[in-house]
A and B are shown apart, each in its own frame.
Chain A
Amino acid sequence: MIRILNAGPGTTIQDRGRFGYLRYGVVESGPMDWIAYELANRALENPPSAAALEIALGGIEIVCEERAERVAFAGGGFAWERDGKRLPSAAVVTLAPGERLRAASGTWGMWTYLAIEGGFDAPVVLGSRSTYARCDMGMVPRAGDALSAVPRLRVASQRYARDDTGVCAIASSLLARSERTIRVVLGPQDDYFTDEALGMLFGESFAVSPRFDRMGYWLDGPQLAHKNGFDIVSDGIPRGAMQVPGNGRVLVLMADHQSTGGYPKIGTVIRADFGLVAQRRPGEALRFALSGVDEARAALLAIYDELEKPVALEPVGAPVRSELLFASNLIGGIVDVSDDSARGS
């Protein structure tokens, strides 16, 4: 198990999300950067929906207790250290009892994920371990808390021995920092906006404002004018919806978004680009491009194709045992890390 020594504000547990209860007003939750979250789990051969720690800019410090634990982390360019020694920003590491692992906000990004072999055994509420603090669902990890992994049968294909002390960086084009344009599908209420507003959405630059949380990111930038008023009869809201209330400002609804809303939604950030929005810091620019539904779907399927390949692990520092090299597919060279097509850049 691990014990939390320090947890910055905004640290939560997230699994894939809480599904099936939107009709009762229960938000989905789940990771802000779902791709990084899935990669951290997949690097450990966890089920892709295993619960992980979502870490915000305040960082985290943990200590390993009782027995060695294999963990993986991935996300923005956070500064990770084990007992004071610098690690890559995405890696698989086995922690020995007493070893400390620390993350601090680094060069870029808002969120990073710490996964443990088997997934964290946090309380399950309505079928999910995701924290939704506003309604006391799940747990809010705090200093002093101990977190265990869900026990898991060890299988013959297990890649690692527990005494592997080497560090392997997770090499994936999906984790690269990207400042590229965010793709948006228009609707469902794009007809509530002037042509000029639609032109501004795709022609001008926006930035993440200091008003952000897991519920939504307010954007600074041009005000988008409505043409048919801004009150609609409330309807459903998906993750990534770009809601524009009377002040003309864009609010991108994120993982903890409310299930319904009464303001027009000009468009929806496509799922493939959702994590790119989530990882932009306040002040960083956002530009949007129009996407069709088919293009958005193709981009998402391309990401799943990439995620479903074995995760490429590159040994860092000290030499590692040959069976680890073999098991992590480095010899076979299965994953082409230069392939950037999944991010569509």
Chain B
Amino acid sequence: MPEFLNAGETALVVEFGKTVDPRLHDEVLALDAALAAASVDGVVETVPTYRSLMVHYDPRKLDREALAERIETLLERSDKPALTPAKRSVPVCYEPPYAEDLPALAQALGIDEARVVALFGAATYRLYMYGFLPGFAYLGKLPKELEIPRRATPRPPVPPGAILVVGEQVVIAGVAMQTGWYMIGRTPLRLFDLERDPPFSFAVGDEVTFEPIAAADFA
């Protein structure tokens, strides 16, 4: 059984573990789907993250004990909905002027740029969560050979569509921001666009691969 942790009287954290682990994330996604299917009156919204699900609820309709019991019942059910992650391909340009930090990253790793690109492009990533800012997608995991510590000082703001790496994580930045991460490349794709319906194109749990494009095709 996961742990139930209080986040005030309007949110409950269902924590399956403390680490980044696709198996824990599967449990988060399964509970998220089960809760959505059960449409519990008083559940306002849910936020799936790496290893826990935050359930926001309205205390006027639901108290903590009733919510926890409902979740336990859902967790004990054997007919859990099957997870069918969508496969997503993200075009990414590793050429100037779209991959400002690729030389610095290659140098810091002690391997050449072509190898960085090849390793990065060969892996399949899982969209673990959105967070921080709208359309800011956290993906994992980066191949071991590409793991890199955070920069000592933040770089100037990256544009929307920046593909950033640090530690074992990859981020697709939906909005411009300053960061201590490395911008390995850029995508013309927008995960978040208010002019589009729906504004968010990828869901948590999706499988993501990166397909290289030439600078001339960046549009």
Contact = CB atoms under 8 A, between A and B. Distances in A.
A50 interface: no
A336 interface: no
Contacts of A239: 8, 10
Contact of A270 (B8, B20, B46, B194): B8
A76 B80 CA distance: 50
A259 B47 contact: yes
Consensus secondary structure, chain A interface: mixed
A269 interface: yes
Contacts of B153: none
Given A20-B45, A24-B135, A293-B64, A269 B175 contact: no
B157 interface: no
B142 to A, nearest CB: 15
A219 B136 CA distance: 27
A212 to B, nearest CB: 19
B6 A186 contact: yes
B60 A304 contact: yes
Contacts of A125: 194
B133 A265 contact: no
Contacts of B132: 25, 258-260
B185 interface: no
Interface string A14-29: 0000011111111100
Contacts of A269: 8
A135 B132 CA distance: 12
Contact of A233 (B13, B50, B135, B194): B50
A270 B59 CA distance: 12
B19 to A, nearest CB: 6
A232 B48 contact: no
A232 B63 contact: no
Contact of B135 (A25, A136, A189, A304): A25
A126 interface: yes
B63 A258 contact: no
Nearest to A23: B47
Interface stretch (A51-59, A66-74, A165-173, A294-302): A294-302
Interface in B182-200: 192, 194, 199-200
B9 A234 contact: no
B134 A25 contact: yes
A269 B132 CA distance: 20
Nearest to A240: B8
Nearest to A299: B9
B28 to A, nearest CB: 10
A296 B9 CA distance: 6
A188 interface: yes
A2 B126 CA distance: 50
Contacts of A22: 45, 47, 54, 56
Interface in A260-285: 260-261, 265, 268-271
Given A25-B133, A135-B133, A260 B6 contact: no
Given A25-B136, A188-B7, A233-B19, 14 more contacts: A23-B48, A25-B133, A188-B15, A189-B5, A234-B131, A235-B13, A235-B52, A236-B13, A259-B47, A259-B132, A261-B131, A268-B11, A293-B63, A297-B9
Interface of A: 19-27, 125-126, 134-137, 185-189, 232-241, 258-261, 265, 268-271, 293-294, 296-297, 300-301, 304
Q: Which 9 A-B pairs have the closest CB atoms?
A: A236-B54, A260-B131, A268-B8, A188-B5, A296-B9, A25-B130, A238-B11, A236-B47, A187-B6
